[in-house]
Amino acid sequence: MSLAMPKPEEEILANRTRLIERLREILPDDNVIDDDAALKAYECDALTMYRQLPLVVALPETVPQVSEIMALAADMNVKIVPRGAGTSLSGGSLPLGDGILLGMGKFNRVLEVDFPNRCARVQPGVTNLAITHAVQHKGFYYAPDPSSQIACSIGGNVGENAGGVHCLKYGLTTNNILGLEIVLMGGEIIHLGGKHLDSELYDLMGLMTGSEGLLGVITEVTVRILQKPQTARGVLVGFPSVAAGAECVAAVIGAGIIPGGMEMMDNLALVATDDFQPCGYPRDAESLLVVELDGTQSEVDHLIERVSEIAKDVGATTIKVSQSEEERLQFWAGRKNAFPAVGAIGPDYLCMDGTIPRGQLAHVLTEMQEMGKRHGLRVANVFHAGDGNLHPLILYDANKPGDIEKAEAFGADILKLCVAVGGVLTGEHGVGVEKRDLMPEMFSEADLEQQQRVKCAFDPNHRLNPGKVFPTLHRCAELGKMHVHRGKLPFPDIPRF
């Protein structure tokens, strides 16, 4: 009988088998996926240039199951990647070969709609659009509207602090959630916020929103719902240059007007969009603004007049105001299909997501065209102009040797420029694996270490979604141990009045 230590591969295999057995003690058999063909469906998110088969996929249906899986992962020292609908554009839900992919898709119920408190309690796998569908019969809606809203989940929206066309006026996900239920790494279940407007102590909900699955697993979200504005009308404004369009954005906001939405497209994007989904865009314009003005009828009429005047002053060549609800929706149908439309004109595209001060739009967009020439790749722009949130779509061909590297280098140059002009690396898509190595462009070593101390407070062994967001991982012990006081701390005297 040999007493030799098992080979590492045998050990890994034995651990995997044991892990799957223990997952099957927690979940029904069908909710544990371990064969390669079925795992393939989970190998990437919407950042498809990165792919990795997960060790195993677990699909819990209840909060106690999530809690047990988290405790199991801690017990067996296994990593966990939470996943909603897998539409992340930054690789946030990219699986790990040595980790459980925790799919939250079965948490798909709207638990409660509470009109008097203007909120809804939903499970994290509910799609963004399904929330609006659940409340629209009473004239309400959920405001943040990512273009992926038909597919992406509210849990993923919280994970990435997702935005959308209407976030300029109504705020991002962080401004539209009231409460969260979260399962921590050891299996503990915590509740933050509720149906009320504000919470005491630290803003942990703010911390969780945009935490990219690094701090805990969200199992319930209480969202704020808003009453639909009485009227909304769309305006298409075409310009002879990108600079004139950018100038109009700054002038409208500078005049004190906050449109319901203000999106911009350059000529490459708008023509591709109009080909893909005919929507009446002015095809000869070098840049196009799709503006929505909402409110009462008289307010909207007044705002349309003011925006039109400002647009003419900066040289608009076409101004088209929607004459019916169908036409307004047609204007937006184009914008919402812009990504697939650009996808149709090139084999592949890489979608970037930097945010800059609005006043820098013209400079950055012009510089980007020059960069495109240097890198030998085309770039189409379609983005949340009012927020200064850029989405350059870099066209490349994954089958052409060297093209992926060129696209990544071009994307990195764009994001470095965003930071150089006073902006940030991401507006709404998150850091994930995509922008991880660019973090030092924006944060000092001390900044990054302080952020990792927050991670350490929730997940000291880096089991939750490691490899995302932080370019280097420090052992939590290296970042300075917290002084643990056992027993009661001396209680300071409180002065009496």
Ligand X SMILES: Cc1cc2nc3c(=O)[nH]c(=O)nc-3n(C[C@H](O)[C@H](O)[C@H](O)COP(=O)(O)OP(=O)(O)OC[C@H]3O[C@@H](n4cnc5c(N)ncnc54)[C@H](O)[C@@H]3O)c2cc1C
Q: Residues in the site for ligand X, rule: CB under 6 A?
A: 45-46, 81-89, 92-93, 104, 124, 146-148, 152-153, 155-157, 159-160, 162-164, 212-213, 217-218, 339, 428-429, 465
Query: Which is nearer to ligand X, 159 or 282 (by Cβ)?
Result: 159
The DSSP output letter for 215 is S
Choice between 174 and 244, CB closer to ligand X = 174
- The answer to whether the beta carbons of residues 159 and 426 sit under 8 Å apart is no
Q: Tell me which amino acid residue 276 is.
A: F
Rounded CA separation 388/390 (Å): 6
**φ, ψ for residue 266 (rounded to 5)?**
-90, 175
For ligand X, the closer CB: 128 or 322:
128
Nearest distance from residue 272's CB to ligand X, in Å?
A: 14
Taking the complex as a whole, the smallest distance from the CB of residue 452 to ligand X amounts, in Å, to 17
What is the DSSP secondary structure assignment for residue 424, as one 8-state letter? B
Minimum distance between the CB of residue 164 and ligand X, rounded to whole angstroms?
5
| CA atoms of 112 and 126, how far apart (whole Å) | 12
Smallest separation, CB 13 to ligand X (Å): 26
CB-wise, 45 or 247, nearer to ligand X? 45
CB closer to ligand X out of 282 and 386: 386
Neighbours of 199 (CB within 10 A): 15
CB of 352 to ligand X, least distance (A): 12
Pick between residue 65 and residue 465 the one whose CB is nearest to ligand X: 465
Rounded Cα gap, residues 485 and 491, in angstroms? 13
Under the phi-then-psi rule, with left for phi > 0, alpha for psi from -120 to 50, and beta for the rest, what region is 193?
A: left
**Cα 56 to Cα 135: distance, rounded to the nearest angstrom:** 36
Question: 3-state class of 206 per DSSP?
Answer: helix
Nearer to ligand X, 166 or 358 (CB): 166
Residue 306 Cα distances to 244, 255, 303, 474, angstroms: 17, 9, 5, 54
Cα–Cα distance for residue pair 101/106, rounded to 1 Å = 14
| Shortest distance (Å) from residue 253 CB to ligand X | 20
Reference 121, options 234, 218, 18, 16; nearest CA is: 218
The nearer residue to ligand X, 148 or 267, going by C-beta atoms, is 148
Minimum CB separation from ligand X for residue 75, in Å? 20
Least CB distance from residue 366 to ligand X, whole Å?
Answer: 24
Q: How far apart are CA 33 and CA 36, in angstroms?
A: 9
